[in-house]
Structure 1
Amino acid sequence: MELGNDFYWFILIGLAAQLVDGALGMAFGLVSTSVLLAMGLPPASISAAVHTAKVFTTGASGGSHALMGNVDRILLLRLAVPGVIGGVIGAYALTRVPGNLFRPVTCIYLLVLAALILRRVGRHRPPEVVSTASHQRQVPAVGFFAGLLDAIGGGGWGSLSTATLLASGSKARATIGTVSLAEFAVTLAISLTFVFTVRMEYARIVAGLVIGGVLAAPVAALLVKRLPERIILGSVGVLALVVSAYQLVLFNA
């Protein structure tokens, strides 16, 4: 295929993927990778392009959420630092252990979280305060394992961390904004090698995804600020179900 002729499609893919990811705290990789695979591009090149683009889109998304007041600074530190450590370890482990070994466990875990989130929506459970002591003790473990599995599985930071924190009772707005900003640090740690290994003929994919993602980031952050809590929670629960089911289908294919 002639990549130059599809540059505007890459922009649209990046815009759509970031609207979903920025508004719900997950699925940039899922949306963009799925569409690019359908376009017939090589999986290795897609992985490199998507991870490289996410360095820029997560920075724009996280910055937009910070400007909109959607970020909890204490939660950010407790989530990002262990996430970076887990991501670096996962990236190293990926050279030794096949990432597909972890996919079924991750998908089942995400299915359980989705059920818990949707149950919370159905019960009209009021949001808890993110900074409670018992909740804060769980956050570093969530960040570490989300970063670890994101690196090993090629994605999943937002799906795992957002769904876990929301299922435990966190406020949706602060959780999504904070997870989005923390993802920048985690993605940068995981993706540094991709910056130097993306083949130049695929640089247009990266550029298109970045342009679309950066344009969509402020809009997504504004949606999080304005949408009611129950709508956000319900959307995250449904998306978590779709993501986990899709990954299980791919694994069994």
Structure 2
Amino acid sequence: MTKIQNEETGGNQLFPVFLKLNDLHTVLVGGGNVGLEKLTAILNNSNQARVTVISREFLPEVHALAAQHEGVNIIQKSFADEDLHTAEVVIAATNDSDLNNYIRQSAHDRKLLINVADKPELCDFYLASIVQKGDLKLAISTNGKSPTIAKRLKEVLNESLPDELDISLQQMSELRNTLTGDFAYKVKKLNSVTSILVEPKAKVNKNFIWLIWSTIIISIAIVVTTLYLKEPVFKDFVTGIDPIFYYFLGAGFVFAMIDGAIGMSYGVTSTTFSLSMGIPPASASMGVHLSEIMSCGIAGWMHYRMGNINWKLFKLLVIPGIIGAVTGAYLLSSLEHYSQYTKPVVSLYTLILGMVILSKAFNVKRKKSADKVKRISLLGLGGGFIDAVGGGGWGSIVLSTLIAGGRSPRFSLGTVKLSRFFIAMMGSLTFITMVSSDHWQAVAGLILGSALAAPIAARISNKISTKTIMVSVGIIVILVSLKSIFTFVSKVL
């Protein structure tokens, strides 16, 4: 009768609930692979759940979980009706169909709800795939039709939903506790605060779209005008292309692909390459910043279109970053030897951050929101300054610190990339007014190569998993930092 009604009504007729398993007694029958899977799912969601596991045999992993959780009690015996006398929730997870049917009947005799593993038609409830971001928990159900689809949807949502959602929940809870007045006023106030969450995407930051487009046009004009006015070098370059252009074209493309995908290393790698090709430090840093105007503008726009921007974080980074970059560019242009003193300190700092990121990539537990970086503006100021005087480091310092502090790698990447566009533009203007360079072939190669790679790399970054981004960031930061430290030590010795 139930099946016929479900077919007539159509759709998923399940009623979703969230059980307080810490306050309920769950009896799980089965100590094999299926039992281990069910027990793991319970403890991942309610690590203080009271669970009694009954089976004649147990996998070692079941004993290991029981040793880690005080609420888990293991009883090695055959199932009997009296085992359900104190049960409030029942799960049958044996590989014996007859025994599962018997457990189900025993549970129903006591008016208990039961889940029978891999038998949807015998279940009173299903164990859903869970997506969790702090206190936010989403349960996914396919009405028992396809656990695989539920698993894939879980992976998609885990990647798509930012970890900052938990911060929003905590802030809303604090706001609700501070509100006074009647119920209608509180509802009105909370609706006003959360209205941005349901606004059409096109209306959010609409004015910022015009700002991005206008600055992109201005930045292109800056690059073209700068190259054109550098006569006769530019005319000679056009009529007879110097081979160095192709070297920097390829290098700019490769470095921008890496940087666009993981959000760092372009400045460091491009500067290192430029110095190895005989380009002076100030000219090398100027070339990097000029090329980053176009590449970061394109990449920043792509990340904006893909919804990878944390606007609050962006506002805290961009102005201090610009101030730091302009100051650093001015100092480097005046004192070209200055970068040799900053690079060892920065390299040691980024080396530590790289190790932290790698350890976090393989650690399931995320940091609490209280551990996140607090002084974002100071981070932006220091990152912009060191980026200018060292020819790179905005991504390595700012992105590494944000990720190491527990922020979402994907949203941090998009935000850092977009803010880098404005910082590169202002730093470039400072360099152009103060530096006289004869290396415009190299600069042009970097500009064109990085611009070609930017949209491709931005797309790639949105396809890479969070763990992959974190591992890549950690490895590259460690390798680049070690190389810089060893180079400095060898020179000193």
Query: Normalised by the size of structure 2, how large is the TM-score?
Result: 0.47
223-232 or 2-11, larger mean C-alpha shift: 2-11
> Structure 1 pair 39/18, CA: closer, same or farther in 2 (3 Å)?
same
- Is the contact made by 1:90 and 1:152 (CA closer than 8 Å) also made in structure 2? yes
Report the equivalent of 1:151. 388
Tell me which of 163, 182, 198 is aligned to 2:400.
163
- Is the contact made by 2:291 and 2:451 (CA closer than 8 Å) also made in structure 1? no
Structure of larger gyration radius: 2
> Share of identical aligned residues, percent?
37
Report the equivalent of 1:115. 355
202-211 or 179-188, larger mean C-alpha shift: 202-211
> Structure 1 pair 93/195, CA: closer, same or farther in 2 (3 Å)?
closer
- Is the contact made by 2:297 and 2:421 (CA closer than 8 Å) also made in structure 1? yes
> Structure 1 pair 77/208, CA: closer, same or farther in 2 (3 Å)?
same
Confirm whether residue 211 of structure 1 aligns to residue 442 of structure 2. no
> Structure 1 pair 200/110, CA: closer, same or farther in 2 (3 Å)?
closer
CA RMSD in angstroms, aligned pairs only: 2.5
Report the equivalent of 2:472. 235
Distance 1:14 1:230 in 2: 26
232-241 or 6-15, larger mean C-alpha shift: 6-15
Confirm whether residue 64 of structure 1 aligns to residue 291 of structure 2. no
Report the equivalent of 2:250. 12
Query: Normalised by the size of structure 1, how large is the TM-score?
Result: 0.87
User: What secondary structure is seen at the aligned counterpart in 2 of 1:137?
Assistant: coil
- Is the contact made by 1:52 and 1:195 (CA closer than 8 Å) also made in structure 2? no
- Is the contact made by 2:279 and 2:439 (CA closer than 8 Å) also made in structure 1? no
User: What secondary structure is seen at the aligned counterpart in 1 of 2:242?
Assistant: helix
Report the equivalent of 1:31. 269
- Output one character per residue of 1:3-48: Cα deviation in whole Å (capped at 9) or x when no partner: 6123233221111010111111111122223333333444443333
Extract unaligned runs of 5+ from structure 2: 1-239
Q: Which has the higher strand share?
A: 2
Q: Which amino acid aligns with 1:141?
A: L
CA shift, 1:214, in A, is 1.2
Extract unaligned runs of 5+ from structure 1: none
- Output one character per residue of 1:45-101: Cα deviation in whole Å (capped at 9) or x when no partner: 333322222222222222222122221111111111111122233334444693322
Report the equivalent of 1:76. 314
- Is the contact made by 2:268 and 2:391 (CA closer than 8 Å) also made in structure 1? no
Tell me which of 421, 427, 443 is aligned to 1:190.
427
39-48 or 74-83, larger mean C-alpha shift: 39-48
CA shift, 1:114, in A, is 0.8
Between 1 and 2, higher relative CO (CA 8 Å, sep ≥ 6) is seen in 1
Report the equivalent of 1:251. 488
- Is the contact made by 2:290 and 2:443 (CA closer than 8 Å) also made in structure 1? yes
Distance 1:84 1:201 in 2: 26
Distance 2:324 2:284 in 1: 23
Q: Which amino acid aligns with 1:219?
A: I
Q: How many residues align?
A: 249
- Is the contact made by 1:75 and 1:136 (CA closer than 8 Å) also made in structure 2? no
Confirm whether residue 225 of structure 1 aligns to residue 462 of structure 2. yes
166-175 or 96-105, larger mean C-alpha shift: 96-105
